[in-house]
Structure 1
């Protein structure tokens, strides 16, 4: 007995159903694997971001420490320059005491005059 068209249809539909079930199973496995891999990648990425942020913080702290040292160097240089100016002024006063007294007197007189005129012109 030859199979009928109906028998062949049922057979083919059964095979198609089996293949669809297998495809669904494989798709499910693929999605689970992809989700697992994605989770692993996300954890790895998170760890790398944390490491980079920690490195950045350490570099920032090191820069701040260097900044404090640089500020101390600048203050020391300014102190040396200020001392040089004071020494230079002292030398000038020793060399020309009368001229120095005259300049100091004139500067004091100008400052006093400016201070009096600033408050009395109302």
Structure 2
């Protein structure tokens, strides 16, 4: 007996069901693999972020330490300039004592006037 049209349709529907079931299994496996790959990438990304943050912290500490050294250097430069200014003023006073006294007197008088006006 040869297969009837109904039997052929049943066979094709059965095949379609089998292929559909296999497609569902393949899709599930693909989603599972994608989730696993995404999880692995997330772990790698997290490790990279931690490493970058650690490097940033180390660079910040190094900058802070160098900042202290730079501040000391600037402090020393300012002290040297202050000493030079005092020495220059002392030399000027030695060279022209009357002019220095007059200038100091005038500055004191102006400061006193300003202080009294307030």
TM-score by length of 1: 0.89
CA drift at 1:76: 0.9
Structure 1 window deviating more from structure 2 (99-108 vs 25-34): it is: 99-108
> What does 1:90-109 align with in structure 2 at a 5 Å threshold?
90-109=90-109
1:79 corresponds to: 79
CA distance in 1, matches of 2:2, 2:73: 104
Give the equivalent residue in structure 1 for 2:3. 3
After alignment, is 18-27 or 104-113 more displaced? 104-113
* Separation (CA, whole Å) in 1 of partners of 2:51 and 2:73: 33
- Number of aligned positions between the proteins: 118
CA RMSD in angstroms, aligned pairs only: 1.2
Instruction: In structure 2, list runs of 5 or more residues that go unmatched.
Output: none
Q: Secondary structure at the match of 1:2?
A: coil
The runs of 4+ residues in structure 1 deviating greater than 2 Å are none
1:69 equivalent in alignment to 2:37:
no
User: How many angstroms does 1:86 deviate by?
Assistant: 0.3
Write the distance in 2 (CA, Å) between the matches of 1:48 and 1:2: 67
Aligned-partner Cα distance in 2 for 1:99–1:21:
108
Query: For residues 79 and 107 of structure 2, what CA distance do their matches in structure 1 show?
Result: 25
Rounded to whole Å, the distance in 1 between the matches of 2:9 and 2:99 is: 125
Structure 1 unpaired stretches of 5+: none
- Deviation, 1:42, is 0.7
CA displacement, residues 34-90 of structure 1 (integer Å, 9 cap, x when unaligned): 110010001111111111111111111211222222111111111100000000111
